[in-house]
Copies of this chain bind each other. A is one copy, B any other.
């Protein structure tokens, strides 16, 4: 069946007029889920749907009866699609629900958002091949890309407890670092603090321990997508990462955007997975016709920086990167699900799979400062004259994402912001 249906029709408009403005992240074709409460209160967070610049209380509509996002994420595909249709009809021009539902709206600027769900386990992958190549060159000039890279999605377990929603501020991490020529390590604040531009794939329905998810079924276990900033301390990473991988260089903070953009909303923006000629084909357990044809996401990704001095001068954020998720990722989200579970490992509703840094092939598509500055050797010069090799205290990073295609209404992923403190 085609997942593109009347909920994607460009003719569809909402009675929430702001949602119909061109450029809105949250037209009626999007309908992402998030958790919110009125700002300044200590109410429990509720499930809401973003529509234009408003949030609709989903419990208020009576369409769900629990504030537990993880329970909503565990729904089967058919029920999810029904829920989407019901929300779409209720928010559409001429809806019978308009009068009742208009009392269920709160302005997004008056809401505080939480992380979109309870994240049990967080796995970070490494699907951005251009990133893997660039970083590999810096860490291991003799062997930038490991022999396993084109055979399996490389990933590692991350830290759930330090994941926060957009707006996260965190102190510059301290730790051990060692320069190659030093006799011993020293302890102090990281001097090579960086961001990583990633997508966060959220698991919907889980699988039982011991029951792998086939590549044909994997899409049914994906709930939605957010933006993800995998903050990284490069100097701590270089000293600690062998032989068991990154640890304290990553687990001090990870920031996600608040809105779960569902796979239903993203249906018109799927793209083929392309592998360069001569690259090995995936082993059969990672290969399926549908995955090859439309396993990738055609999402435009942008990174902006806003320094303390820019804020002081009233300057807007400045773009560092503009790229596309589809051309950056060597493995699809479905392949991540299948590979993760092929040994029997169980995924649970709300689990998070990071895509890894989605750098494109061009220099200005790089998703980290490590790449943009060639390992800190070539500073980025900002419009106000400031230079950056790595992040300075007071820097705010903003990741944005959106989908645009002829014949489809633009949908946005919103943004994720985070700020480094001293």
Contact = CB atoms under 8 A, between A and B. Distances in A.
B251 A174 contact: no
A3 B345 CA distance: 41
Contacts of A285: 187
A160 B120 contact: yes
A419 B300 CA distance: 48
Contact of A246 (B120, B121, B176, B244): B244
Provide the main secondary structure of the chain A interface.
loop
Copies per assembly? 2
A162 to B, nearest CB: 6
Interface in A199-252: 209-210, 212, 233, 236, 239-249, 251-252
A240 B242 CA distance: 14
Interface stretch (A7-15, A346-354, A375-383): A346-354
Nearest to A189: B343
Interface residues of A, number: 65
B342 A174 contact: yes
B280 A343 contact: no
A352 to B, nearest CB: 12
Given A161-B351, A342-B174, A342-B175, A242 B148 contact: yes
A388 interface: no
Interface string A163-179: 01000001101111010
Interface stretch (A46-54, A151-159, A290-298, A317-325): A151-159
A339 B146 contact: no
A286 B22 CA distance: 56
Interface string A249-278: 101110000000000000000000000000
B148 A239 contact: yes
A247 B160 contact: no
A283 interface: yes
A151 B339 CA distance: 34
A174 B344 CA distance: 8
A171 B139 contact: no
B151 A176 contact: yes
Contact of A243 (B136, B157, B162, B184): B136
Nearest to A343: B173
Nearest to A249: B343
Given A136-B243, A241-B243, A184 B345 contact: no
A346 to B, nearest CB: 5
Given A158-B157, A283-B185, A174 B343 contact: yes
Interface of A: 120-121, 123, 126, 136, 139-140, 146-148, 151-152, 154-162, 164, 170-171, 173-176, 178, 184-185, 187, 209-210, 212, 233, 236, 239-249, 251-253, 280, 283-285, 339-340, 342-348, 351
Closest 8 CB pairs of A and B: A245-B245, A173-B343, A157-B157, A156-B244, A244-B245, A252-B343, A248-B343, A252-B344
Given A120-B161, A245-B245, 14 more contacts: A121-B159, A139-B243, A148-B239, A151-B176, A151-B184, A154-B244, A156-B156, A156-B245, A161-B351, A173-B343, A174-B212, A174-B342, A241-B245, A252-B345
